Amino acid sequence: MAMPTWDETMAPVLRELVGGETVRARDMYVRVADAVGLTDEERMEALASGQLRLHNRVGWATSYLARVGAVERPVRGAYAITDVGRKLLADHPDGITEKDLRVLAGDANAPHTYYALKAMEQGGSSAEANGASVSTGGGEAAVPPVAPAQLDPVEQVEDGVARLHADVAADLLTRLHASDPAFFEQAVLDLIVAMGYGGAEGTATRTQLSNDGGIDGIVDQDALGLSRIYVQAKRYALDGTVGRPEIQAFVGALHGNQANQGVFITTASYSKGAREYAGSVPTRVVLIDGRRMAALMIRYGVGVQAKRTVQIVEVDEDFFE
């Protein structure tokens, strides 16, 4: 089946605990994956942060269940079901939703009732789960409302960042395409250096615009220039395509300079033939299209600046040991 949303993992979590045993988090991930029938590929799906998506969603599910007293943590990193959890599963054997948790939080007999109810009603000042919190302002801690796509809070943050980056990437490409050739070539070299090529003692040099022999820049990775990367940077229409002939010409320029590696960067995209040719020649040729270039500029801070930083923290378990 498809990857379950965070709320769809709550019932499987409780079913694994209903026998009365205490289950460690790392074992819970495997049990839930087995219970819902995830493939090996689905189990390895990762968020942009690198955390496995399944681990993230099970973590949020157990945290929300703990919030309303359905599970408890008798020891660090392990979970056990409570009487509240048993009743919750019995009342909703086919699946538990966030709405069910809100109803439970309003039950005067549910542990942590005041905290959980206030948090779920207010929904907005921060997102907490598994001890993690994304702070967005003052006020009482709160459980954020669930998005229509049933993304957990961390996924909502990453989705928002991805959309912001997409807007910035589009703006970067528009500006780069409108810039003059010298500016674009220098921006490309700045990016390559920011990525770590050139080193402390290396250099990045832009060649003369005229009679450059098909090479727009040279990056020396050591002080003696024994290891060089040759660069060609071309501004093409954003909806354009770089074909095989352009890559063949670049490879010819590399051979003319007795080079064994080069990078071709463009604001456009590459045709299938261009990519196949680049992968078939002995010379190492890396093709970077406009989309990847913009993403790399954002990642390495070239042409962009941080407007706001959101700090994600988690409870220091050692503090409470």
Judge if 128 and 201 occupy the same domain.
no
CA-CA distance, 217 to 135, in Å (whole number)? 44
Neighbours of 282 (CB within 10 A): 8
Q: For residue range 182-235, what is the model confidence (pLDDT) as tens digits?
A: 899 999 999 999 998 876 666 778 876 545 567 888 888 777 767 789 999 999
Cα distances (Å, whole numbers) of residue 315 to 134, 151, 236: 12, 22, 49
What mean pLDDT is predicted for residues 66-71?
A: 88
Provide the CATH number for the domain around residue 273.
Answer: 3.40.1350.10
Residues 15 and 60 in one domain: yes
Size of the chain, expressed as the number of residues it contains: 321
> 273-296, pLDDT tens digit by residue?
999 999 999 999 999 999 999 999
Verify that 51 and 80 share a domain, yes or no.
Answer: yes
Instruction: Clarify whether residues 109 and 175 are in a common domain.
Output: no
Q: How far apart are CA 270 and CA 41, in angstroms?
A: 29
Q: How many structural domains is the chain composed of?
A: 2
Beta-sheet strand order (sheet of 228-234): 203-206, 217-220, 228-234, 261-266, 284-288
Do 112 and 17 fall into the same domain? Answer: yes
pLDDT band, very low/low/confident/very high, at 120 (cuts 50, 70, 90): very low
User: Does residue 33 surpass a pLDDT of 70?
Assistant: yes
- CA 26 – CA 43 distance, rounded (Å): 13
Domain annotation covers residue 57: yes
Tell me the per-residue pLDDT of 91-115, one tens digit each, with 9 for 90 and over.
998 899 888 888 887 753 444 433 3
Instruction: For residues 242 and 121, state if they share a domain.
Output: no
Residues 142 and 210 in one domain: no
Average pLDDT, the chain: 81
Range(s) of the domain holding residue 55: 7-151
Same domain for 134 and 11 = yes
Q: Read off the pTM.
A: 0.60
Query: Are 141 and 40 members of one domain?
Result: yes
Clarify whether residues 144 and 188 are in a common domain.
no
Q: Is 201 found in the same domain as 121? A: no
The alpha helices in 39-133, defined as continuous H runs, are 40-43, 53-67, 83-91, 98-105, 113-122
Same domain, 28 and 116: yes
Q: How far apart are CA 219 and CA 228, in angstroms?
A: 6
Q: What are phi and psi of 74, to 5 degrees?
A: -65, -30
